[in-house]
Structure 1
Amino acid sequence: MLWEKIGSGWRLAAILNTIAVFIFTIFGAILLYWSVSKSGSMNTNFIFFENSCNQSKSVNLWLHLLLNVCSTGVLASSNFFMQVLSSPTGTEVDRAHEANHALKIGVPSLRNLFWTSKVKFVCWILFFVSSFPLHLFFNSAVFATEYMGTD
């Protein structure tokens, strides 16, 4: 059975995190395509919702809540993978011990990264760089404006 091959623990969590991030990425790409097709360009804004101030504030609040929940999930997934990547394998621990260096086991450590493979190090850096500005970009994607003029 598939679940027996996958097992439990960090491998199952990695698969579930990857699926969730993939779904969120597809959803984001669909929304981006929809917004560009509505506005005609990536350099212009378009009106997603137009109504009374109270209703617009409510829609803005719910959209930001949804974006923050999704981006927090992606950030948590990145954090999970960064912890897995900074965990040394038995071979990496042996290599560090041969060089008379101690590694931290069971806790995320930047020191461990220098004793892991180059692929794990590069992946860790990519997760760090990509997840760092996540909330900033997602929160700035949706904004509300108020019309203060007269008709």
Structure 2
Amino acid sequence: MKILDAGTKVLSDHEVLSFIQAKRKEHKEEDAKAKADGQSVFPRPDNFLLALQRHEYHLNHKRRPFLENPNYKADESHIIQLMEALEPRLQLTKTELLMLVNQRPHNREMMLPMIEDVESRYSEGDQNFIVEKVVEVLGAARPVTPDPDQMEEGE
């Protein structure tokens, strides 16, 4: 998906990371062109650069499900495949679908906060079906170990 205007679409984690990387490349090219033309480099707002840096760090973190997923493709095919697997039986919003793709829940408890009113909309069997299809299409979950960078003192 090509992002024409940032902030107007719901995006997967990979699409956001691709956008940030493209923006960084664009900045480098603009800066190199300005230097080559003998012009001063265009200053960018510090808060914008900090936001890019934080999001890029978060999305490149080793604990992101899509980074180490052997079933993951850098296009939308895995999203479409999951949607087609769920659609005959269940109707999810795009946001709910992207939450499932980005977080890749491997049990019902992980999936519950990702779908609005899940317990009133879907039976326990349907909820298990969602998790089964996520694992089938996106791959089995990696074991989650505590991240020392994220742990607070005293834990």
Whether these two folds match at TM > 0.5 is no
**TM-score with structure 1 setting the length:** 0.23
Higher helix share: 1
**TM-score with structure 2 setting the length:** 0.23
When Rg is computed on C-alpha atoms for both structures, the one with the higher figure is 1
